[in-house]
Structure formats: structure tokens, C-alpha cells
Amino acid sequence: MIRTIPEVPAELFRPAAFDAEAAERTGYARYSYWRSTFRTFLKSPVSIFLLALIVVLTTASFVYPLFAHVDLGAVNLDTETWNLSPNRDHVFGTDGLGRDIWALTWYGTRTSLLLGFVIAILDVGIGMIAGALWGYVRKLDRIMTELYNVLNNIPQTVFLVLLAYIMRPGFWTIVTALCSTGWIGIARFVRNKVITIRDAEYNVASRCLGTPLRRMITRNVLPYLVSILIMEAALTIPYSIGSEVFLGFIGLGLPIDTISLGNLVNQGKNNFMLYPYQLTWPTVIMAAITVSFYIVGNRFSDASDPRNHV
């Protein structure tokens, strides 16, 4: 199919004069990567809402225990108060020992978030350093690739279970087990990015123009990496929380007297037929957190893509 271009009237065109100042101006756009990223990110009300939700839930879970003065070890010796349905005194009801599920949920949220943050920071921190080295130091490539293949081929349950037995179940065991395999995935991701960025035309051009290394790193490389890392960190949090639930399911999670969302969900699950609210509330909070982090992470990754900056 051939389209014909209609005649364009000549009077629409006029010659442009050369203006040295204006030429300079187009050469220097008032483009800031970070401002654009945030502007794109904050354009969507959903992102704002979820980000606010994360901030509120995180703050609440860390602040609540400071003000609540609930002694979680305090077991109610009066069996009448065990397994109560939600009521005025206990808005989420009570568990099998008469403890208030509302309070438990906040404490649990704090533990789980803490776990997620620690894992995310460690994973991303180690992954970034290792990945950068992997990308820049060519000698390391063979070894790191082999390490990647090995870690990738050991089923993760092997790590989780073995470490739980060798180190005994606990907060740092879960952190170690998840990080021991988690970092390498991020490292490879970073490495691939570093390689592409390092050899990208604009960097070659920059080098040729004599841009100092510091500026190249801060302006040309880092922005790409930081956005990826923030996204990875955000996505690691729901993953860590999910892993803790899974570990609790196979009996190797945090000790049962530690209050975490994973433990609350697993205990609630056992009694679901009988006391559904014991599962419902912790689940709702957990879902709110994991979904928010997941969406925020993804939105941020979209926003941080310069192609989406218009």
C-alpha cells in the first residue's frame, strides 16, 4: 500500500537564523535523572498510596511496640480468655493462650519487616559489590560464573534445611540461608548491567571526551545501578517474608515463641477451620505489605528506566 504525501504549502516554512546562545541551550538539557525518576514514579496515585501504606505500616510496627506496653510473654492463666473471637477488647480476637492478636500482629510485622530489610540490605549490598567486581575484573569472570552455576544448582531447600540444623533455627540462620544464595542472582544482574553500561556508546564517547572517572561513575553508571538495586531490594522483601512462611511450614522457621508473621500465619492455618480470624488478620497485614513492596518495586523499576522519562 502506497500512501501519497499531500502537498504542503510553502508559506508554512521560514528560515531559521543561527543563534549561538540557543545552540548551547539545547546542548544542555535541564534533565535530572533522579528528579525525573521520582516525577514519573509519583505520577501514579497507586504508587503514592502504596508507598504511604508501606511507610505507615513500617512506622506503626516499629512504633507500636514502644507505646503498647503489652507484655507478649504474658500468658493469660484464665482459660476463658483463650481463642476469643474479635470483640471490643481484642479487635482481632485472642490466640490459644489468650494473647491479643492485634498486638501479636504488630510485633510479628516488625520481626518480618526487620528480617526482610536485613536480607534485602545484605543481598543487595553483597550482590552489588560482587557484581561490580565481576563485571569490571575480567579475571574473576571464570570463577564467579562457576560459583554462580554451583549455587544455582544446589536446591535452595538444601541450604535452608542444612543451615537450620547446623546453626539451629533463628533469625540469623534464615538470613544466612537466604543470603547465601540470594546475593549471587543480584550479582549476576549487576554484572550484566555493568558490562553493557561499561561498553555502551555514550560511555565510550564520554571516555573519549575525557570525562573524569568519578563523574562517569556517578553520572553515567551509578544511576542505572541504584535504581535497579532499589527495585531488587524492594522485591527481596516480599520474597523474604514468603520464605519465612515456607520455612515455618516445614518446621524450620523462627522459633515458635518468636512472634513473626510467618509463625502467626502457620499457627493460624492449623486452626483455620475453627478460628478463622486467627489466620485472617495476620494474612491481611502480610498481604498488604508484600503486595505493596512488590508493586512499589516494579513501579520504581519502570520509573527509573530513562526511556520512560518524557
Residues that bind other proteins (CB under 8 A): 1, 3, 73-75, 77, 79, 82-83, 96-97, 145-146, 148-150, 152-155, 157-158, 161-162, 164-166, 168-169, 185, 188-189, 192, 238, 241-242, 245-246, 249-250, 255-257, 265, 267, 269-275, 283, 286-287, 290-291, 293-295, 307
The amino acid sitting at 113 is L
- Shortest spacing between CB 23 and other proteins, in angstroms: 27
Supply 249's cell numbers. 511450614
Which CB atom, from 206 or from 298, has the smaller least distance to other proteins? 298
Cβ-contact 261, 245 below 8 angstroms: yes
- Shortest spacing between CB 146 and other proteins, in angstroms: 7
Distance CA 6, CA 310 (A): 30
- Shortest spacing between CB 257 and other proteins, in angstroms: 5
Which CB atom, from 23 or from 310, has the smaller least distance to other proteins? 310
Distance CA 180, CA 160 (A): 10
Torsion of CA 138, 139, 143, 149, to 10 degrees: 20
Which CB atom, from 72 or from 226, has the smaller least distance to other proteins? 72
- Shortest spacing between CB 303 and other proteins, in angstroms: 15
Cα separation values, 73 from 6, 13, 76, Å: 82, 82, 9
Distance CA 147, CA 128 (A): 16
The DSSP 8-state label assigned to residue 219 in this structure reads I
- Shortest spacing between CB 243 and other proteins, in angstroms: 8
* 117: helix, strand or coil: helix
Supply 95's cell numbers. 490466640
Write down the H helix ranges in 137-249: 140-153, 156-167, 171-199, 201-208, 213-215, 222-249
- Shortest spacing between CB 192 and other proteins, in angstroms: 7
Which CB atom, from 181 or from 211, has the smaller least distance to other proteins? 181
Which CB atom, from 161 or from 200, has the smaller least distance to other proteins? 161
- Shortest spacing between CB 277 and other proteins, in angstroms: 12
Give the relative orientation of helices 33-42 and 222-249 as an angle to the nearest 10 degrees. 50
* 267: helix, strand or coil: helix
- Shortest spacing between CB 213 and other proteins, in angstroms: 26
Which CB atom, from 106 or from 239, has the smaller least distance to other proteins? 239
Cβ-contact 178, 205 below 8 angstroms: no
Which CB atom, from 8 or from 274, has the smaller least distance to other proteins? 274
Which CB atom, from 22 or from 287, has the smaller least distance to other proteins? 287
Distance CA 38, CA 235 (A): 18
